């Protein structure tokens, strides 16, 4: 209790610090406030002047920091600044601390409860839907395997303790006036709308935790997908790094997304002579990866939606990138085309042309800025050689997994099982290009891995690349929950391809995948299950299938360390 | 019977040109044979050195002997070049040369001269890639005949996408082959002989390549096919490799002209050159009276140079080749000589579109050689229909079918458009102004035409 009082009291000091605009008034005020705060907790005090004074405070911060928009998310239009460590430095530390606790006051305790309620409501609605429309997807989510809840989340398990998010862009705050709303709600005991008035992308970021990028029935994700398709694009920049052309789009609500343009038609297959590293990135593969990941209940792919973009109004006219702008031209057929600047396929021969200026593409929601939520990039132990003639170690050593199992972080915890999950996802999509994966640094080694960059899946429907499955066939280990879900999705009434197709039907660019690709997923799923049953036959069920369904407490996560032979 | 045979029997195709005088043939036999002998001994010396070096560094190169043959078909072809054409109608050396190129053992593969001239410089920002960047190789046969190999890049039924500019388009091996046949049917005889061939890229290219840089671009694809790539275009990620299946790859082989050291040529910009940019326009594209200026300019103000340009534009229009930025002539014949129609690989890209701007020289200058016009009219008649004689002529190539039916019927449609353009000119200016007796024909006796 004392601690809370002490905190509130600090809030007040710092609030007034901002409110007061002029130095000497603040100096005058400080001792009085101290006395008042010590006296009675002064809860309502800040409200009286906050609404009117706050904008000036914000304004001050804007001036202090030349790039307010980049605070939460850096979109690196300058080449080489993918990692936006500098944006962190620009944020005045004092200002952060000043604002943070106030937001915590009305958000912190409520977040989890609210989500629980939303989840329950959504689940109920989905169930009702299922009964009404015979939706297979809704029926799937009714299945007990898809109703397991997460272990209780502590502050350590969520990416943001909400207070950190106060650094959310101040300019947007002024325009959307959610601060005013928020302060009005502060007094109300229900206090719901304050965080609902956050833009959806921010709510997506707040929802990220140790076990998932988003929760199963999260209305925010649906809203975010809708935002990706409907929000006005205010600026466009080319993404530096990476090999193929990607654009970073900024929306009216300051959300950002990664745009991958359509390069191939849906019927085109990757030519057999292409290496995995020379394949094109496909926009529909990005969309399909998100839906497949969701149907598999991994929820480790950030939301992706398809969008028809007007190349003139939504790219050329809003970009400040001269290099990008310069590559626009009109084709002999009078279509608008551009090719951008990148190391792979950015030339006139591979220009992207609209019809006459409508271009299909995928928009993947950004993860939180690296300055706020650092990510670790890990080399995939089963990385390919990326060389025309050389082979990787795992391709020649059948006992490669034994080595991996003894190497941190794969020697304990759930990391290896996560890699296996990823392997299965990659195999179902035929994605050979998984050289690295990422985790959030905050969660250490005990967290799921994020599946980014899925554009090279779904290239060949007539070919199953068995080598993608090597981690599974070499290690012979899998999560029980994953195994059960895979078995479920192999059943006729929960057929994977039908579920994924239903999930994707809501996308603007439907049909996202042609039927042969969907059929290939079912075929590959059977191959995964075959590999698993061979493993079980060879090694025994208890060795292969790691029971993650029981006794899942925060503390004994370590028990799932793979046993060594 | 054979339409093609009847066409070549037609009086129009049997006008005898006068026997070329000594100043009117390109090469003297003694000079050429001496040159050939020198090259062969030079080659043998070099191969000896190379095989020693290869033995040390453990490279396996298939060794073939060069056989010196004074009766070689390519030699005869070179000797037959004169002021009027690259070869004569009844020249037996040409069919023999086509056959040799299709079947003879390849003893060496190397980059072409224009590729070597770039010295490995790759500028990925260039929108228009220099011709040296394109994927082509120089192959040497057992009897020292040389041919330029252009591999297949595109299926025959694939059309150039509508958004692709002329300077970005693929090079097509079948266009090279078809252009040679069309040129012969039009009786221009200005394209060096081209034959199609299934090349074993491991045995006939990789294993006979003595150039380390060339050997480095060969690899085996994930589908176990042998592939190779054009270095710069691959480095710049504009083009992927071409692959055999697993080793055999279709390609066109076009016979080399005599080396520049004994028969120099010059390359002259086409007055109707395009801008080679996305937006730029050339003067001829905006000025309908452009030809009036050209007519006053040297060398177009005398002789039948301009008429030759118009012949070339008709040829390019029929093949739909927009990429004719330069033409070449043999310096020996000066301004009186014929124009070489080299590098036709960008034709036959779209069968559904007739690019009328290629015909600008004809439609703006409103003049045409009488001999050309008569032949065009002949080829428009059902008994000698252009598409039929082309189909028949292309049947002779080992890679048949060379052109798909839509491309063949496009030839007929385009021929009609050429004739209509001439008609429009005649209606405006009168026959005497438009249909001109060309220089070459005037020396022939009209009696022999009958």
Query: Domain boundaries in chain A?
Result: 71-99+153-365, 375-384+391-546
Whether residues A275 and B222 touch (CB distance < 8 A) is answered with yes
Mean pLDDT, rounded, of chain A: 76
Give how far Cα A185 sits from Cα of A286, B50, B73, B202, Å.
Answer: 39, 87, 95, 76
Interface test with B, best of A329, A334, A348, A433 (most B CBs within 10 A): A348
Report d(CA A359, CA A352) in Å as an integer: 8
Determine the straight-line distance between the first and last CA of chain A, rounded to whole angstroms.
Answer: 53
pLDDT at B409 over 60: yes
Measured in angstroms, the CA of B131 and the nearest CA of chain A are apart by 15
Give how far Cα A417 sits from Cα of A215, A430, A534, B445, Å.
Answer: 20, 19, 18, 92
* Backbone phi and psi for residue B149, each to the nearest 5 degrees, phi listed first: -100, 120
pLDDT computed for residue B50 by the predictor = 86
Whether residues B238 and A333 touch (CB distance < 8 A) is answered with no
pLDDT at A89 over 60: no
pLDDT computed for residue A478 by the predictor = 93
- Among the ranges given (A325-339, B122-136, B226-240), the one the predictor scored with the smallest mean pLDDT: B122-136
Cα atoms found within 13 Å of the Cα of residue A543, Cβ hemisphere only: 14
Whether residues A332 and B164 touch (CB distance < 8 A) is answered with yes
Measured in angstroms, the CA of A329 and the nearest CA of chain B are apart by 6
Which single residue is written with the structure tokens 């066939």?
Answer: A473
Reply yes or no on whether B163 is catalytic: no
Using an 8 Å CB-CB cutoff, list residues of chain B that contact chain A. Answer: 124, 127, 162-166, 168, 219-223, 225, 227, 236-241, 243, 278-279
pLDDT computed for residue A193 by the predictor = 42
Strand partners, B267: B328
Q: In 10 A of CB A65, how many CB atoms? A: 18
Whether residues B240 and A278 touch (CB distance < 8 A) is answered with yes
Question: Length of chain B in residues, anyone?
Answer: 450
pLDDT band (50, 70, 90) for residue B63:
confident
The DSSP string of A363-426 is EEEPPPPTTTS-EEEEE-TT----SSS---HHHH-TTHHHHHHTSTTTTSTTHHHHHHHHHHHH
Whether residues A273 and B168 touch (CB distance < 8 A) is answered with no
pLDDT band (50, 70, 90) for residue A495:
very high
pLDDT computed for residue B14 by the predictor = 87
Is B353 strand, coil or helix?
coil
Of residues A333 and A187, more confidently modeled: A333
pLDDT band (50, 70, 90) for residue A319:
very high
Q: Residue B123: closest CA among chain A residues belongs to which residue?
A: A347
% residues pLDDT > 70 (chain A):
67
The DSSP string of A140-164 is HHHSGGG-PPPPPP-TTTBS--SGG
Q: Which residues of A touch B320 (CB under 8 A)?
A: none
Report d(CA A338, CA A325) in Å as an integer: 8
Of residues B437 and B17, more confidently modeled: B437
pLDDT band (50, 70, 90) for residue B435:
very high
Report d(CA A220, CA A195) in Å as an integer: 11
Interface test with B, best of A278, A323, A332, A351 (most B CBs within 10 A): A332
Listing from the earlier edge strand, what are the strands of the sheet with A358-365?
A233-238, A247-251, A256-261, A358-365, A304-310
pLDDT at A180 over 70: no
Answer for the pair A546, A539: CB distance below 8 angstroms, yes or no: no
A residues 384-423 closer than 8 Å to B (CB): 388-389
pLDDT at B86 over 50: yes
Helices then strands, counting H and E runs in chain B, come out as 17, 12
Contacts of B31 (CB under 8 A, 6+ apart): B262
pLDDT at A328 over 50: yes
pLDDT band (50, 70, 90) for residue B54:
confident
A residues 48-77 closer than 8 Å to B (CB): none
Q: Which residues of A touch B219 (CB under 8 A)?
A: 388-389
Of residues B28 and A53, more confidently modeled: B28
Query: Span A498-506, mean pLDDT?
Result: 93
Beta strand pairing call for B137-141 and B106-111? antiparallel
pLDDT computed for residue A118 by the predictor = 52
The separation between CA B265 and the C-alpha centre of its own chain, rounded to angstroms, equals 15
Query: Span A229-249, mean pLDDT?
Result: 90
pLDDT computed for residue A515 by the predictor = 94
% residues pLDDT > 70 (chain B):
97
Is A251 strand, coil or helix?
strand
pLDDT at A247 over 90: yes
Q: In 10 A of CB A256, how many CB atoms? A: 24
The separation between CA B131 and the C-alpha centre of its own chain, rounded to angstroms, equals 14
pLDDT band (50, 70, 90) for residue A413:
confident
Q: Residue B162: closest CA among chain A residues belongs to which residue?
A: A333
Give me A433's structure tokens. 């290009």
pLDDT computed for residue A8 by the predictor = 67
Question: Looking at the partner chain, which of A272, A343, A346 has a beta carbon nearest the beta carbon of B222?
Answer: A272
Question: Looking at the partner chain, which of A274, A329, A353 has a beta carbon nearest the beta carbon of B278?
Answer: A329
Answer for the pair A310, A368: CB distance below 8 angstroms, yes or no: no
Q: Residue A328: closest CA among chain B residues belongs to which residue?
A: B278
pLDDT band (50, 70, 90) for residue B389:
very high
Report d(CA B435, CA B422) in Å as an integer: 9
pLDDT at B161 over 70: yes
Query: Span B127-143, mean pLDDT?
Result: 85
Question: Looking at the partner chain, which of B227, B238, B278 has a beta carbon nearest the beta carbon of A350?
Answer: B238
Mean pLDDT, rounded, of chain B: 89
pLDDT computed for residue A196 by the predictor = 67
Whether residues A331 and B219 touch (CB distance < 8 A) is answered with no
Measured in angstroms, the CA of B170 and the nearest CA of chain A are apart by 9
Give how far Cα B96 sits from Cα of A159, A162, B225, Å.
Answer: 78, 84, 32
% residues pLDDT > 90 (chain B):
63
Q: Is A427 on the interface with B (CB under 8 A)?
A: no
pLDDT at B16 over 90: no
pLDDT at A189 over 70: no
pLDDT computed for residue A163 by the predictor = 58
- Note the pLDDT tens digit of each residue in B314-363: 999 999 999 999 999 999 998 888 999 999 999 999 999 999 999 999 99
Whether residues B221 and A344 touch (CB distance < 8 A) is answered with no
Most confident range (mean pLDDT) of A108-112, A407-411, B113-117 is A407-411
Alpha helices (H) in A490-565, listed in sequence order: 496-504, 515-539, 541-544
Catalytic residue among A297, A433, A507, A548: A433
ipTM of this predicted structure: 0.84
Answer for the pair A513, A266: CB distance below 8 angstroms, yes or no: yes
pLDDT band (50, 70, 90) for residue A264:
confident
Of residues A555 and A372, more confidently modeled: A372
Q: Is A331 on the interface with B (CB under 8 A)?
A: yes
Residue A288 is labelled as binding a ligand? no
- Among the ranges given (A317-321, A545-549, B392-396), the one the predictor scored with the smallest mean pLDDT: A545-549
Strand partners, B138: B110, B148
Helices then strands, counting H and E runs in chain A, come out as 21, 12
**Crossing angle, helix B305-319 and helix B173-185, to 10 degrees?**
130
pLDDT band (50, 70, 90) for residue B57:
confident
pLDDT at B176 over 80: yes
Question: Looking at the partner chain, which of A273, A275, A348 has a beta carbon nearest the beta carbon of B127?
Answer: A348
Query: Span A216-241, mean pLDDT?
Result: 91
Helix (H) or strand (E) holding A244, with range, is none
Whether residues A335 and B222 touch (CB distance < 8 A) is answered with no
Query: Span A166-174, mean pLDDT?
Result: 47
Answer for the pair A457, A284: CB distance below 8 angstroms, yes or no: no
pLDDT computed for residue B138 by the predictor = 94
Whether residues A347 and B165 touch (CB distance < 8 A) is answered with no
Interface test with B, best of A262, A265, A273, A275 (most B CBs within 10 A): A273
pLDDT at A84 over 70: no
Give me A527's structure tokens. 């191959």
pLDDT at B27 over 50: yes
- Note the pLDDT tens digit of each residue in B94-124: 999 999 999 999 999 999 888 888 777 788 7
Q: Residue B278: closest CA among chain A residues belongs to which residue?
A: A329
Report d(CA B448, CA A40) in Å as an integer: 124
pLDDT computed for residue B279 by the predictor = 86
Most confident range (mean pLDDT) of A48-62, A103-117, A540-554 is A540-554
Helix (H) or strand (E) holding A545, with range, is strand A545-546
């Amino acid at each position: 209790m004392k601690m809370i009082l002490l905190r509130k009291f600090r809030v007040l000091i710092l609030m007034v610090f901002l409110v007061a605009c002029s130095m000497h008034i603040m100096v005058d005020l400080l001792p009085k406030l101290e006395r008042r705060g010590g006296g009675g907790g002064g809860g309502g005090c800040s409200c009286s002047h906050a609404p009117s004074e706050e904008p000036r405070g914000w304004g001050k911060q804007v001036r202090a920091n030349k790039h307010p928009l980049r605070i939460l998310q850096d979109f690196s239009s300058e080449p080489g600044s993918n990692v936006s460590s500098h944006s962190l430095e620009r944020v005045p530390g004092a200002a952060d601390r000043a604002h943070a606790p106030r937001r915590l006051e009305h958000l912190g305790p409520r977040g989890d409860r609210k989500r629980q309620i939303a989840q329950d409501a959504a689940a109920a609605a989905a169930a009702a839907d299922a009964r009404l429309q015979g939706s297979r997807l809704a029926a799937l989510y009714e299945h007990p395997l898809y109703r397991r809840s997460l272990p209780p989340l502590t502050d350590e398990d969520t990416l943001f303790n909400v207070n950190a998010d106060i650094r959310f862009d101040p300019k947007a705050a002024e325009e959307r006036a959610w601060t005013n709303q928020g302060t009005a709600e502060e007094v109300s005991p229900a206090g719901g709308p304050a965080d609902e008035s956050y833009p959806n992308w921010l709510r997506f970021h707040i929802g990220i935790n140790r076990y998932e990028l988003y929760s199963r029935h999260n209305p925010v994700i649906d809203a975010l997908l809708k935002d990706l398709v409907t929000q006005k694009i205010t600026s466009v920049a080319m993404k530096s790094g990476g090999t193929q052309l990607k654009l970073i789009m900024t929306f009216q609500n300051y959300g950002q997304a990664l745009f991958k343009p359509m390069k191939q038609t849906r019927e085109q297959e990757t030519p057999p002579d292409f290496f995995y590293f020379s394949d094109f990135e496909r926009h529909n593969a990005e969309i399909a990866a998100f839906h497949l990941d969701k149907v598999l209940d991994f929820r480790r792919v950030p939301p992706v939606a398809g969008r028809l973009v007007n190349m003139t109004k939504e790219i050329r006219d809003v970009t400040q990138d001269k290099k990008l702008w310069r590559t626009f031209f009109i084709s002999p057929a009078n279509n608008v085309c551009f090719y951008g600047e990148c190391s792979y396929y950015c030339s006139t021969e591979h220009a992207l042309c609209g019809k006459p200026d409508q271009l299909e593409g995928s928009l993947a929601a950004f993860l939180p800025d690296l300055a706020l939520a650092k990510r670790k990039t890990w080399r995939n132990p089963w990385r390919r050689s990326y060389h025309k003639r050389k082979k990787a170690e795992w391709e020649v050593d059948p006992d490669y997994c034994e080595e991996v199992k003894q190497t941190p972080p794969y020697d304990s915890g759930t990391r290896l099982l996560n890699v296996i999950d990823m392997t299965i996802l990659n195999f179902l999509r035929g994605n050979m290009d998984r050289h690295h994966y990422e985790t959030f640094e905050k969660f250490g080694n005990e967290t799921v891995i994020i599946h980014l960059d899925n554009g090279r899946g779904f290239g060949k429907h007539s070919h199953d690349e068995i080598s993608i499955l090597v981690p599974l066939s070499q290690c012979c280990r899998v999560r029980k929950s994953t195994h059960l879900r895979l078995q479920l999705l192999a059943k006729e009434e929960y057929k994977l391809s039908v579920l994924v197709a239903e999930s994707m039907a809501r996308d603007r660019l439907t049909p996202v995948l042609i039927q042969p690709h969907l059929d290939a997923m079912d075929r590959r799923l059977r191959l995964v299950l075959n590999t698993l049953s061979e493993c079980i036959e060879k090694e025994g069920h208890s060795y292969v299938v790691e029971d993650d369904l029981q006794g899942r407490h925060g503390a004994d996560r370590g028990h799932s360390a793979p046993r060594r032979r | 019977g054979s339409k093609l045979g009847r066409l070549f029997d037609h009086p129009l195709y049997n006008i005898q040109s006068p026997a070329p005088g000594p100043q009117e043939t390109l090469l003297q036999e003694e000079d050429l044979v001496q040159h050939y002998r020198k090259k062969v001994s030079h080659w043998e010396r070099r191969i000896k050195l190379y095989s020693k070096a290869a033995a040390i560094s453990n490279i396996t190169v298939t060794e073939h002997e060069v056989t010196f043959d004074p009766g070689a078909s390519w030699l005869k072809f070179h000797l037959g070049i004169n002021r009027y054409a690259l070869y004569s109608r009844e020249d037996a050396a040409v069919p023999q040369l086509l056959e040799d190129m299709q079947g003879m053992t390849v003893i060496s593969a190397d980059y072409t001269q224009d590729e070597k001239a770039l010295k490995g410089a790759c500028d990925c920002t260039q929108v228009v890639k220099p011709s040296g960047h394109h994927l082509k190789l120089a192959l040497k046969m057992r009897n020292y005949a040389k041919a330029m190999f252009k591999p297949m890049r595109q299926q025959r039924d694939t059309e150039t996408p509508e958004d692709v500019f002329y300077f970005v388009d693929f090079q097509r091996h079948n266009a090279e082959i078809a252009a040679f046949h069309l040129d012969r049917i039009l009786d221009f005889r200005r394209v060096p002989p081209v034959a199609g061939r299934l090349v074993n890229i491991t045995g006939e290219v990789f294993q006979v390549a003595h150039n380390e840089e060339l050997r480095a671009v060969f690899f085996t694809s994930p589908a176990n096919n042998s592939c190779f790539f054009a270095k710069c275009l691959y480095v710049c990620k504009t083009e992927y490799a071409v692959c055999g299946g697993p080793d055999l790859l279709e390609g066109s082989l076009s016979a080399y002209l005599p080396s520049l050291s004994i028969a120099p040529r010059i390359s002259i910009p086409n007055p109707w050159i395009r801008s080679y940019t996305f937006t730029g326009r050339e003067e001829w594209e905006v000025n309908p009276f452009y030809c009036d200026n050209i007519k006053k300019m040297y060398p177009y103000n005398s002789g039948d140079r301009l008429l030759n340009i118009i012949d070339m534009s008709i040829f390019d229009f029929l093949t739909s080749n927009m990429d004719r930025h330069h033409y070449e002539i043999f310096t020996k014949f000066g301004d009186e000589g014929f124009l070489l129609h080299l590098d036709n690989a960008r034709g036959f890209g779209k069968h559904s579109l007739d690019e009328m701007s290629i015909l600008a020289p004809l439609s703006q200058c409103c003049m045409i050689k009488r001999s050309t016009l008569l032949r065009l009219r002949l080829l428009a008649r059902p008994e000698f229909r252009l598409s039929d004689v082309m189909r028949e002529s292309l049947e002779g190539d080992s890679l048949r079918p060379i052109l798909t039916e839509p491309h063949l019927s496009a030839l007929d449609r385009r021929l009609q458009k050429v004739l209509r353009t001439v008609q429009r000119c005649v209606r405006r200016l009168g026959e005497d102004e438009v249909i001109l007796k060309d220089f070459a024909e005037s020396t022939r006796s009209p009696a022999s035409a009958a």
